[in-house]
Structure 1
Amino acid sequence: MTLMGQARQLVEDVAGALPRALTLLGQAEALIARVDGLIDRIEQTRRSADDVVVRVGETIDRADESVERIDRTITSADKLVLRAAGLVGSIEPTVNRAQHLLDSFAPSLEMLQPTLDRLAKSTSPEEVEALVRLIDHTPELVDRLVADILPIVENMQSVAPDIHDMLDTMHELNEMIAKIPGMGRIRQRVEDKQASEG
């Protein structure tokens, strides 16, 4: 083969290789375009990941703030629990004393229960108000009775039996009123009031 033949062969080989080279070049360009697309998608994914990292950081910051608030709340609750425990400890003797009093009054209260029920059902507010007024005036009435009326009655030898009955009734009423719980305190209050006014 001559040089010319070799050159022709070379030109034919090059001409035959040129479409393949162009095809390879097209494929390389397509591959580069795909790689560029992948790089763009990777960049978008990286930016999205950066955004997620920022949001996660913000969420962690908010969670830390919430944990701090919870810690403060727990501390406040602990203080309240300690104060409540102190209050319970200081109230306990009073509760025990009240329980002892209730236990000691229980038999009497149980015996009085039917009477109290009947009294509650049969007493009107007006009657209660009248009784309160009567109790308020009782010390003064008793003092006047003892100081003014009883000496006159004792000096009367010829008093009719009805007046003696009325006098006995008044004595019984006086004794009944004196037995009302709290009468001693009411009487003392009235006497103190009269002493301060007089």
Structure 2
Amino acid sequence: MAIPLPRPSTVVGLTRSALDQALGSAASFAAVPARAFAVLDDVEALLARINGVVDRIEQTLDRTDRVLDDAESVAARASEAVGTAAEAAATAAEVLTAYEPALRRAAPMTSRFVEQLSHEEVTAAIRLIDELPKLREHLTGDILPILATLDRVGPDLHDLLDVTRDLKLAVAGIPGLNVLRRRGEKLTEDNGDPGA
């Protein structure tokens, strides 16, 4: 059997086809690094974006931690405030319980007192309170020393009354006193004194 030999045009065609395939493969292989670099660039850009997102997440977590720490301190202060308020409420309840009967009795009187007060009376009371330091000074400096000597005034007053009686009797015995008295009454009438 004889092996047919290919024709030169077939050999050229096959050679061309092989060359085209080799060139296509070479071009494909040559394009692989460029595409690989483009993919790597895309991957690097994606990694940069992911790093940015991770940084923002870390910042948000840091802020969240600070907020949680602040919330814990606020909660502790609020707990202290609630404890203080509870103690104050307990004290107020004890005071109200102790003074409740007196307050209930005083309520109508207090209402009546407040209803009776006028603005002028309140103003006068304020002025009186403003004058209390002067009043205290005069009481301690002037009036109380005089009051301390009142136990001696009674006998002195009796002595003065005795002397006045004696003087009246002595004056009544002076000759011509009645004439002087009448003359004084006449002068008083002439002047139009209505009290005579």
Shorter-chain TM-score tier: 0.5 to 0.7
Shift of 1:82: 0.7
Deviations 1:158-196 (A, max 9, x none): 99xxxxxxxxxxxxxxxxxxxxxxxxxxxxxxxxxxxxx
Partner amino acid for 1:81? V
* Aligned residues with identical type, % of pairs: 17
Of residues 143, 147, 162 in structure 2, which corresponds to 1:143?
Answer: 147
Aligned to 1:86: 87
Query: Which structure is higher in RCO with an 8 Å CA cutoff and minimum separation 6?
Result: 1
CA deviation digits over 1:26-56, x for unaligned, max 9? 3554455234312220122123313422432
**TM-score normalized by the length of structure 2:** 0.56
Hey, what does 2:135 align to over in structure 1? 133
Q: What amino acid does structure 1 have at the position aligned with 2:92?
A: I
Question: TM-score, length-normalised on structure 1?
Answer: 0.55
- Give, in whole Å, the separation in 2 of the partners of 1:149 and 1:131: 29
Alignment partners' CA distance in 2, 1:26 and 1:18: 12
Tell me: CA distance 1:3–1:101, structure 2 relative to 1, closer, same or farther (3 Å): same
User: Within 2, Cα distance between the matches of 1:158 and 1:115?
Assistant: 52
Taking only aligned residues, the RMSD between alpha carbons, in angstroms, comes to 4.1
Structure 2 counterparts to residues 1-198 of structure 1, below 5 A: 5-6=6-7, 9-30=10-31, 32-97=33-98, 100-113=101-114, 114=116, 117-121=119-123, 125=127, 129=131, 133=135, 137=139, 140=144, 143-144=147-148, 146-153=150-157, 156=161
1:187 alignment partner in structure 2: none
Secondary structure in 1 matching 2:108: helix
For 1:18, what is the secondary structure of its paired residue? helix
Deviation per CA, 1:133-162, whole angstroms, max 9, x where unpaired?
Answer: 179628727834742434545674899xxx
CA distance in 2, matches of 1:43, 1:71: 41
Change (3 A) 1:111 1:149: farther
Call closer, same or farther: CA 1:115–1:22 in 2, change over 3 Å.
Answer: closer
User: 1 CA distance for matches of 2:93 and 2:162?
Assistant: 63
| Alignment coverage as a number of residue pairs | 159
Distance 1:103 1:157, change over 3 A: farther
Deviates more, 1:63-72 or 1:50-59: 50-59
In structure 2, the gaps of 5 or more residues are: 165-196
